[in-house]
Amino acid sequence: MKPQIIFFPQVAAAAVAAPPWTTPNPSSVLEKRESGAQNIFTCAAVNWPPSAVGSLNVPQTPPADLQSMLAQVDPANIEATILKLVSFGTRHTLSTQNSTTRGIGAARDWIAAEFRRYADASDGRLEVDVVGYEQPADGGRILFPVRISDVVATLRGTESPERLYVVSGHYDSRVSDVLDYESDAPGADDDASGVAVSLELARVMSQPGYPRPRASIAFVAVAGEEQGLYGAQFLAQTYANATPRVNVEGMFTNDIVGASKADDGTVDPYTVRLFGQGLPPLAVEDAATRERRLTIGGENDTPARNLARLVKEVAENSATGMNISVVYRLDRYLRGGDHRPFLEAGYAAARFTEPHEDFAHQHQDVRVDTATGKQYGDLPEFCDYGFIARVARVNGAALYSLANSPGVPRNVGVNTTDLGNDSTFYWDAPAGGEDGVGSYEVVWRATPAPFWTHALDVGLVNRATVDLSKDNVIFGIRAKSPDGMRGVAVLPFPAA
Long-range contacts of 328-335 (CB under 8 A, 24+ apart): 328/276, 328/278, 328/300, 328/450, 329/275, 329/276, 329/277, 329/278, 330/275, 330/277, 330/278, 331/275, 332/275
Out of 11-25, 222-236, 386-400, least confident range? 11-25
- Whether the per-residue pLDDT at 213 is higher than 60: the answer is yes
Fold for the domain defined by 1-59+409-496: Immunoglobulin-like (2.60.40)
171, 191 in Cβ contact below 8 A? yes
248, 165 in Cβ contact below 8 A? yes
Single pTM value for the model: 0.91
> Cis omega (within 30 of 0) on the bond before 430?
no
- Whether the per-residue pLDDT at 229 is higher than 70: the answer is yes
Residue 79 to residue 384: CA distance in whole angstroms: 9
- Whether the per-residue pLDDT at 358 is higher than 70: the answer is yes
Q: Which tops the pLDDT comparison, 154 or 40?
A: 154
Residues of the chain above pLDDT 70, percent: 90
Could you tell me which residues come within 8 angstroms of residue 359 by beta carbon, excluding any fewer than 6 positions away?
263
pLDDT, position 472: 94
350, 395 in Cβ contact below 8 A? no
pLDDT, position 18: 36
- Whether the per-residue pLDDT at 37 is higher than 50: the answer is no
- Rounding to the nearest 10 degrees, give the CA dihedral for residues 413, 418, 419, 424: -30
Residue 85 to residue 91: CA distance in whole angstroms: 8
pLDDT, position 334: 87
Domain borders along the chain are: 1-59+409-496, 73-404
Picking from 387, 213, 390, 400, the residue whose alpha carbon sits closest to that of residue 319 is 390
CA angle 78, 81, 87 (to 5 degrees): 140
pLDDT, position 1: 47
Q: How confident is the model at residue 5 (pLDDT cuts 50, 70, 90)?
A: low
pLDDT, position 51: 80
> Cis omega (within 30 of 0) on the bond before 338?
no
313, 262 in Cβ contact below 8 A? no
Picking from 400, 397, 387, the residue whose alpha carbon sits closest to that of residue 82 is 387
Residue 235 to residue 221: CA distance in whole angstroms: 10
**C-alpha distances in Å from residue 300, one per residue of 15, 41, 445:** 27, 15, 12
Residue 160 to residue 422: CA distance in whole angstroms: 35
pLDDT, position 7: 55
The dihedrals phi and psi of 291, each to the nearest 5 degrees, come to -60, -40
pLDDT, position 41: 66
- Whether the per-residue pLDDT at 38 is higher than 80: the answer is no
Picking from 32, 171, 158, 24, the residue whose alpha carbon sits closest to that of residue 95 is 171
- Whether the per-residue pLDDT at 86 is higher than 80: the answer is yes
- Whether the per-residue pLDDT at 11 is higher than 60: the answer is no
Position 409, amino acid: P
The tens digit of pLDDT for each residue in 276-296 reads 999 999 999 999 999 999 999
Picking from 223, 215, 203, 278, the residue whose alpha carbon sits closest to that of residue 250 is 215
Strand, coil or helix: what is 301?
Answer: coil
Pairing of strands 493-495, 410-415: parallel
Q: Inter-axis angle of helices 104-120 and 75-86, to 10 degrees? A: 150
If you classify domain 73-404 with CATH, what class do you get?
alpha beta
Residue 378 to residue 245: CA distance in whole angstroms: 38
The reply to whether 73-404 shares the fold of 1-59+409-496 is no
The dihedrals phi and psi of 486, each to the nearest 5 degrees, come to -90, 145
- Whether the per-residue pLDDT at 227 is higher than 90: the answer is yes
Out of 179-183, 331-335, 336-340, least confident range? 331-335
**DSSP strand E in 224-264: where?**
247-254
